[in-house]
Structure 1
Amino acid sequence: MKRKFFKSIIIAAGGLLVFAACSKSFLETDPTGTPTENNYYRNETEAFNGLVAVYDVVGWQGNAYITKTGMADAASDDHYAGGGSSTDVSGLQVMSNYTVDPATGPSAELWQKGYAGVFRANLLMEKLPNVPMDENKKKRFVAECKVLRAYFYFDLVRLFKNIPLITKTLATSEFNSVLQAEPAQVWAQIEKDLTEAIAEAQLPDKLASSETGRMNKGIAHALLGKVYLWEKKYTEAAAEFALVNGTPGGANSYGYALLPNFADLWKFTNKFNSESIFEISFSSLSGGTWSCTSCTEGNVLNVMVGPRGYSPTPGAPDYYSGWSFLPVTQSLFDALHFDPRFNATIVNLDSLEKNGVAKYEKGYMNTGYFLAKFAAKNSDRTTGGGNVELNFGQNLYEIRLADAYLMEAEALVRGGGDAARADALLNAVRKRVGLNPVPATIDNIMKERRLELAGEGHRWFDLVRTGDAATVLASKGFKAGKNEILPIPLQELENTKILQNKEYGGTK
């Protein structure tokens, strides 16, 4: 019998088994033993460890090297899957050529991630009322769980559309009888969780330096704005983003600010900088090994996107030899070639090789262009033990200020809002890299999103959200009315009441 991810995660969450052997959240935690639901949550420390367990899922990376960012990049027009061959990390390959099906692809990993987070959040919120601890801290924990649950459901409903909506822990007898909710119910629950968390006075506006990575009101407002944008509630989206963005290029209530130098965003040590709103934490110190690739706290994208068999001459760029995944397409290269962000975004290995600066092995679907934003360098190598490849520690931006500026500008234009403010938001992003102002049309905003956020996992979602995917991705095999979502993973259909999406031959 194949493993039932949905069922197994419910069991795991119910028993706090747990903390996934490693923590990718705001706090390093080393729980000992395998405490169960019945003998845990006895005090504030144990409740806090439970909160860490919820955060841990944000940085989930499966044993199959699947991440949301990697999947979305491979599926976009900016990258191919790459790697060593047409079967190397098949979950990326089938997204890149749109042969994904219920048995093959990233679905199982991304479904498992989402529901692991949901179930851990549900469990902690149910346990908190009986934990003897400060009531204000308890309210903060609940608010954080609601933002996190909203985040997990936001990804699940965007990726799979027809999903179970679970807001409480389940008894064993309920495991196989869970039904899918209408998508509108899921969207409504996401909004409810976020608005309630924002209204909770204990969710802070700003974080102490010791709390970086935890949820605050800025993150909640930005995430709610993004949810509204997906729902085409443009007036509401613009209002949420305005609270986060403040004066374009100037001050806001949460202390966010564009970094003066775009390239500084990609320094591995530049974590939780002023531009970061919602950031996913990784570490070079977890000592991850091949015995459990999903247990490492290192960012697997750092080695995946580097040039394969990289051999530099003295003075050449210091890249660590990687696996050549997500090579940049000619289309993105041409779009960025004369843009000031080019060198921080793309490394042209073909040019280096032609000039005798470095050599590299040509991977699958090689273009000669690699994603510089995430490519690891020898200077970024771990000092914490384990395998070098699994222990690079660059964080990822889930939402950063330039992204929020452009989303607000889009919402204003689509919703008929303040055109002058939309211009100011778009051109603050351009001014940061020395580009002249342009009017805030939808074409200009979406072009700017592609160039500013290249490789960060947003392009595919933007194309799907705006309805442009069928045209832009037709040459890769994208089929309108199908590939806007992923299939429900095959494992979830066995002995359960979950139904496959119609787009993939099901009845839901």
Structure 2
Amino acid sequence: MKRYITYTAGLLIVLSLFSSCKKFVETDPRGQFTQEGYYRNQAEVFNGLVAAYDPLGFQGGDYVSKITAMNAGSDDNLAGGGGSSDFTPLQAISNYTVIPANGPQDALWKGGFLGVYRVNILLSKIDAATMPDDIRARYKAELKALRAYYYFDLVRLFKNIPLMLTPIAPDQAYNVLQVAPEEVYAQIEKDLKEAIAEDKLPNTVPKATEAGRMTKGIAHALLGKVYLYEKKFTESAAEFALVNSVPGQLNSVYGYKLMDDFAALWKTANKFNTESILEISHTSKGNGAWSCIECTEGNLLSIMLAPRAYSTLLPGAPDYVSGYGALVVTKNFFDFIHYDPRNKASVANLDSLKKAGIAKYDNSYENTGFFVEKFAGRASDKSTGGGPSELNYPQNTYEIRLADTYLMEAEALVRGGGDLSRARALIAAVRNRAYKDGKDHAVDATLDNIITERRAELAFEGQRWFDLIRWGKAATVLASKGFVAGKNEILPIPLKELENTKLVQSKEWGGTK
């Protein structure tokens, strides 16, 4: 869904646990309103629905988002930037010096619970609104799927979290207690199953007006992913099969199909393509400002990844913008993907351009000469809005895409003792699209082959860190970065969330929970 609502004070009242410097829905510029007098009709409820979607693309004022943090923590990227004190939350997770007072956890906690809070507010108000019942039912299904999404991220990142299903009164906000992770997962399942069973989510949505809204296909994909993390492999494979249909062919129910060209996935003209399942929307026409980086609707990743002081020297050089040089690609990853056909669409070899006299740039901190190509800012994508161009790049990011669900279904089948011939076909469809030479590049359906394929296919999309944790391989793969087994599988609860509340730090981080 297009994230176009602006914000005003008064509607969202959240204390420390749920705070946001963002302002909430403003539909009447002449005055403000409170939630008690709002959500009276379909138009007002729709505004609340848009606001509930908005934290999907949450980007903190310190440039932390889920994709930047998870990339920095993986073996594919280093934090980079201008120095060791640049992007300090990302430096902390990149070299595993996170402490409760410093790291990406503040933004990730804040964005997740902001989404939960907005969903709960609207669910508590929607039944009293004057609006058609069928539209109300669809909105409620969307809200349940959104809440499941937000809680899935929160429980994976923090494990021990509060589970709130109704709005919390301000005088009770500091008394919220944590629950067992299993209880959170049970609620996630419940929300997604209800969203699907109520049969109010559409199979597809019109791209021009509703792209990004929850569909039944998204709900099945999310549920399949949740089951995979719970090691419910049979259930996971069944959900993914509904999304994936026949490997390599069009899903006639939900409209999903692999794009023919892997590189085309990263062109801004190809937003919400047939491979996209759940996509985070950005725009170059926003009015984001330096005074509120969180408020921008542009993709901060684009300017972060662009090389420092970049300029072209010869015609035909890539039209990268000059950026911050963050999240540089590790030499380990470049060596891994160098001979893979997805290499050039994934990694920019800036050193080769520099040595050939085609372009020049300044070295980043931890410079390797390799940068992320998939999301690097381009001069052709510079802002057309009123805000700074640095904050208004339009490239979307994929939260879930079809190649991802192909490989997750294959994983569920392999780990659950399922149909290995189908698993092999799913992996082959992804590989054959990558090679695009008419030959069959099928490999055996093994977990090792799936691990290799996911790293190559989904590089820099924020999946690698979660994958390593799920497979139990993070301690080995990330040891050289400082990862400590039994600790760094989750993030600490932010220090400020523990002050004057009943929240307890996780045992992994020296607490008792």
Into which bin does the TM-score normalised by the smaller protein fall?
over 0.9
For residue 112 of structure 1, what is the aligned residue in structure 2? 110
After superposition, what is the alpha-carbon deviation per residue over 1:176-222, rounded to whole angstroms, capped at 9, x for unaligned? 11100011000000000000000112111111231111000000000
Contact 2:212–2:281 (CA under 8 A) maintained in structure 1: yes
What residue is the counterpart of 1:24 in the other structure?
none
Q: Which amino acid aligns with 1:213?
A: G
Q: Take 2:386 and 2:19, find their aligned partners in 1: how far apart are those partners?
A: 32
Give the alignment's TM-score, normalised by structure 2.
Answer: 0.94
| Residues 23-79 of structure 1: per-residue CA shift (max 9 Å, x gap) | xxxxxx887643211111111100000000100111111111001000000000000
Distance 2:20 2:97 in 1: 32
SS at match of 1:484: coil
Deviation string 1:474-493 (CA, Å, 9 cap, x unpaired) is 00000000000000000111
Pairwise CA distance, 1:251: 2.5
Contact 2:19 2:110 in 1 (8 A): no
Helix, strand or coil: the match of 1:404? Answer: helix
Unmatched runs of 5 consecutive residues or more in structure 1 = 22-28
Structure 2 Cα separation of the partners of residues 488 and 8 of structure 1 = 13
8 Å Cα contact 1:285/1:382 also seen in 2:
yes
C-alpha separation between the residues in 1 aligned to 2:372 and 2:31? 41
Shift of 1:269: 2.1
Query: How many residues are paired up?
Result: 494
**Which residue is equivalent to 2:272?**
272
- What's the CA shift string for 1:89-128, capped at 9, x where partnerless? 1110000000101000111111010100001000101101
Inter-partner Cα distance in structure 1 for 2:234 and 2:120: 31
Matched, 1:462 2:467: yes
Q: 2:506 matched to 1:485?
A: no
Aligned-partner Cα distance in 2 for 1:402–1:169: 37
Instruction: Call closer, same or farther: CA 1:6–1:496 in 2, change over 3 Å.
Output: farther
In 2, distance between residues paired with 1:31 and 1:335?
53
* Equivalences for residues 188-227 of structure 1 within 5 A: 188-209=186-207, 210-227=209-226
Deviations 1:400-441 (Å, cap 9, x if unpaired)? 000000000000000000010000000000010227211111
Change (3 A) 1:270 1:364: same
Contact 1:17 1:34 in 2 (8 A): no
User: 1:369 corresponds to which residue?
Assistant: 370
Residue 150 (structure 1) aligned to one of 133, 143, 148: 148
2: CA distance, partners of 1:345 / 1:504:
35
Alignment of 1:25-64 (within 5 A): 33-64=31-62
Indicate the residue corresponding to 1:240 in structure 2: 239
Name the counterpart of 1:254: 254
For 1:106 and 1:365, locate their aligned partners in 2 and report how far apart those are by CA, in whole Å.
19
How far apart, in 1, do the equivalents of 2:356 and 2:111 lie?
Answer: 44
Contact 1:151–1:223, Cα closer than 8 Å, also in 2: yes
Q: Distance in 1 between matches of 2:96 and 2:109?
A: 18
Tell me if the contact between 2:14 and 2:170 (Cα under 8 Å) persists in the aligned partners. Answer: no
Q: Structure 2: where are the runs of 5+ without partners? A: 1-12
Structure 2 counterpart SS, 1:95: helix
> Does the 8 Å contact 2:17/2:174 carry over to 1?
no
Within the candidate set 484, 508, 512, 1:507 is matched to: 512
The match for 1:448 is 453
Do 1:9 and 1:119's aligned partners in 2 also have CA atoms closer than 8 Å?
Answer: no
CA distance in 2, matches of 1:145, 1:30: 24
Find the counterpart in structure 1 of residue 6 from structure 2: none
How far apart, in 2, do the equivalents of 1:365 and 1:451 lie?
22
Contact 1:234 1:411 in 2 (8 A): yes
Q: d(CA) in 1 for partners of 2:320 and 2:29?
A: 36
CA distance in 2, matches of 1:378, 1:106: 29
What residue is the counterpart of 2:15 in the other structure? 7
Write out aligned runs for 1:91-490 (5 A).
91-209=89-207, 210-252=209-251, 253-315=253-315, 316-434=317-435, 436-490=441-495
**CA offsets per residue over residues 444-477 of structure 1, 9 Å max, x none?**
0110000000010100100011100000000000
Aligned partner letter, 1:7: L
Share of identical aligned residues, percent? 59
Asked if the contact 1:47/1:128 (under 8 Å) is kept, the reply is yes
Amino acid at match of 2:304: M
- The answer to whether the 8 A contact 1:219-1:277 is kept is yes
Per-residue CA distance 1:250-294 (angstroms, 9 max, x = gap): 132211011101000001221100000000001100122212111
Which structure has more strand as a fraction of its residues? 2
* Separation of aligned partners in 1, 2:380 and 2:335: 30
Give the TM-score taking structure 1 as reference length.
0.95
Closer, same or farther: CA 365–17 of 1 in aligned 2, 3 Å = closer
Q: Distance in 2 between matches of 1:106 and 1:425?
A: 34
Q: Whole-Å Cα distance in 2 between the matches of residues 11 and 237 of structure 1?
A: 35
Deviation of the 1:12 alpha carbon = 7.0
Q: Which residue identity lines up with residue 448 of structure 2 in the other structure?
A: D
Q: What is the CA–CA distance in structure 1 between the aligned matches of 2:155 and 2:434, rounded to whole Å?
A: 35
Alignment CA distance shift 1:172-1:324 (3 Å): same
SS in 1 for 2:377: coil
Do the aligned partners of 1:376 and 1:392 also contact (CA within 8 Å) in 2?
A: yes
The runs of at least 4 aligned residues of structure 1 exceeding 2 Å deviation read 5-13, 29-34
For residues 159 and 461 of structure 1, what CA distance do their matches in structure 2 show?
Answer: 9
What is the CA–CA distance in structure 2 between the aligned matches of 1:387 and 1:32, rounded to whole Å? Answer: 26
Which has the higher mean CA deviation after the structures are superposed, 287-296 or 451-460?
287-296
Give the SS at the match of 1:58.
helix
Name the SS for the 1:480 alignment partner: coil
Distance 1:106 1:6 in 2: 21
CA contact (8 A) 1:147 1:220 kept: yes
Q: How many Å separate the matches in 1 of 2:314 and 2:352?
A: 16
When the two chains are superposed, the root-mean-square deviation of aligned CA atoms in Å is 1.6
State the SS of the aligned residue for 1:297: coil
CA distance in 1, matches of 2:30, 2:301: 29
